[in-house]
Amino acid sequence: MSEQTKQTEGPRVGVLALQGDVREHAAVLTALGATVVPVRRAAELAQIQALVIPGGESTTMDKLLRAFGLRDAVIAAIDGGLPVLGSCAGMVLLARNIEGGIEGQQTLGGIPMTVRRNAFGRQVDSSEVALEWKPDGSQMHATFIRAPWVEAYDADVEVLATLAGAGDDEAHAVAVRYGKRIATAFHPEISGDHRVHQLLLDLI
């Protein structure tokens, strides 16, 4: 790698490229100046400075993580301090516990929280809403697709945004941060608002 390439290359951010919204996350990260690395093998984790676990289907992603021999390596990287963002299915994978999961479904356990899978309903219940983004008090446009919510979390988990479920008045956490680990129930990669991804880059 030339000196010129070293100077112009942005932070190297991996996107778990087994299933889900890989291209959409890559496009946002590229727009923010990052160099995107598709992650399909454990060795690729050593090349990155942060990781995105995209939305998709959490049970399928869990199976593929194990099939590709990636699960233990991703857990070790996160435990070792690698900044990580999980959106929608990625939030489910980062949870310590799942409500509504299928038999045998496993998580990466990066955030001490319990997530309810498909809490906001099925595909037909997808919605676009304006949330309060608590770090700066401004509004954030958010897209929910078969979205989870956080059912419970430890005291040291920071809530970044909440949303009430259909038919109830209880505000459920839909974006959280735990150290260098961020998770959103919504899809920040398709909203046009890049603040979630910028928060990940700021953790590098």
Tokens 């390439």 found at: 5
Walk me through the domains of the chain, giving residue ranges and CATH numbers. 3-202 (3.40.50.880)
- Active-site residues, by number, are 88, 187, 189
Q: Where are the alpha helices (DSSP H) in the chain?
A: 3-8, 22-31, 58-67, 71-79, 89-94, 195-202
Span 167-183, pLDDT tens digits: 566 788 999 999 999 99
Q: Which residues pair with 140 in a beta bridge?
A: 131
> Rounded CA gap, 5 and 50, in Å?
20
pLDDT at 120 over 80: no
How confident is the prediction for the chain on average, in pLDDT? 89
Span 11-56, pLDDT tens digits: 999 999 999 999 999 999 999 999 999 999 999 999 999 999 999 8
- CB distance 204 to 50 below 8 Å: yes
Span 61-99, pLDDT tens digits: 999 999 999 999 999 999 999 999 999 999 999 999 998
